[in-house]
Amino acid sequence: MDLQWNPIEIEYKDITQNKNSLEKIITGDSPALIIRNFYNNDSCKTISKRIEIRAFESNKKMKKIGVSLVSFISRKAEYFTQADALRKTVRQVFSGLEDPRKKIHKTLEVFFPGKQVTIAVETGKKYACGVIRLHELGDFAPIHRDNASFEARNFDVSKFPIQLSTVLYIQQSQKGGELVLHKKSWKKSDEKFRNIDFGYSKDVISDCNQSVKIKPNQGDLVIINPIYYHEILPVRANRRITLGLFLAFSKHGEKVVTWS
Ligand SMILES: O=C(O)CCC(=O)C(=O)O
């Protein structure tokens, strides 16, 4: 048995030869699939500059662009209204460039041959597609897991048995900001370790004996199974910018759906 819990790394140009690499992420045998050089570096820089300008112009501290389902768990109607309201804003961040969300969809089609990859839709309403997150100096994300099937029961995407998370690194922090993945998946009894605002106390991983720290480069795409606990270490220099998108599917269904 392989006792190492290491990420799988592939080059974007080689994905067609690595169509099975998501299997180990789904099973938890590997913590992450890192697709190197997924998105053009110059385009990452252009997007980062656009975001810098927006952050500068915004009078409240801007931490994200786009809509994230987790912020609307008990406000479903509002989630769909906001998803539509911000669609243009998110699109504009990528205007004139290859839309990384479309590239993620095309890449998923390689990993799931024969399945159709689309933005999730529920009773005619389209889910949000992509959230850009900014982590500034000192920002971090505590130990957490993302899985729609427990919290977001009133949303259709919670019914898919397998959920993954894709993260594109648009700008990497010069110091800190590493993603730490813990080899422990969420179970209901862990809820006693839950923080009041977000995430879990360190006690939730006290019985976890393997963790890995990764720091992907600008332009890399990472795919993780977000039911495994993970955290982002504090950013120690400049700003970290990522684009996040979830995907879900059933082994025997025809569809892969994405949302944020
Ligand atoms: O930004 C990252 O490296 C990971 C993102 C994350 O923690 C999440 O999507 O829950």
| CA end-to-end distance (rounded Å), the chain | 35
**Which amino acid is it at 165?**
S
Q: Domain limits of the chain?
A: 8-259
Ligand 1 atom closest to the Cα of residue 177 is 3
Span 8-259 CATH architecture: Sandwich (2.60)
Rounded to the nearest angstrom, the distance between the alpha carbon of 224 and the centre of ligand 1 is 9
Taking the C-alpha atoms of residue 187 and residue 52, their distance in angstroms, rounded to an integer, is 39
Asked if 224 and 32 touch (Cβ cutoff 8 Å), the reply is yes
Q: Which pLDDT score is estimated for 59?
A: 67
Residue identified by tokens 């300008």 is 53
- Is the Cβ atom of 232 under 6 angstroms away from ligand 1? yes
- Is the Cβ atom of 147 under 6 angstroms away from ligand 1? no
CA atoms within 13 A on the CB side of 208: 21
Say what the pTM is: 0.95
User: What's the chain's length in residues?
Assistant: 260
Asked if 132 and 51 touch (Cβ cutoff 8 Å), the reply is yes
Q: Which pLDDT score is estimated for 54?
A: 84
Rounded to the nearest angstrom, the distance between the alpha carbon of 110 and the centre of ligand 1 is 23
Rounded to the nearest angstrom, the distance between the alpha carbon of 119 and the centre of ligand 1 is 20
Closest-CA residue, ligand 1 atom 5, reads 167
Rounded to the nearest angstrom, the distance between the alpha carbon of 232 and the centre of ligand 1 is 7
- Is the Cβ atom of 146 under 6 angstroms away from ligand 1? yes
Q: Which pLDDT score is estimated for 157?
A: 96
Greatest CA separation found in the chain?
A: 54
For 110-204, where are the E strands, in sequence order?
A: 116-119, 121-122, 125-126, 131-135, 141-144, 162-171, 175-176, 179-185
Among residues 137, 135, 209, which one has the least CA distance to residue 179?
A: 135
> What b/e sequence results for 63-83 when a residue is b if at least 16 CB atoms lie within 10 Å of its CB, and e otherwise?
eebbbbbbebeeeeeebbebb
Closest-CA residue, ligand 1 atom 3, reads 179
Rounded to the nearest angstrom, the distance between the alpha carbon of 15 and the centre of ligand 1 is 22
Ligand 1 atom closest to the Cα of residue 145 is 10
Neighbours of 61 (CB within 10 A): 9
Q: What is the mean pLDDT of each run of 10 residues along the chain (260 residues)?
A: 83 95 95 98 97 80 90 95 97 98 97 95 98 95 88 92 97 97 95 92 95 98 97 96 96 93
Rounded to the nearest angstrom, the distance between the alpha carbon of 76 and the centre of ligand 1 is 23
Asked if 105 and 117 touch (Cβ cutoff 8 Å), the reply is yes
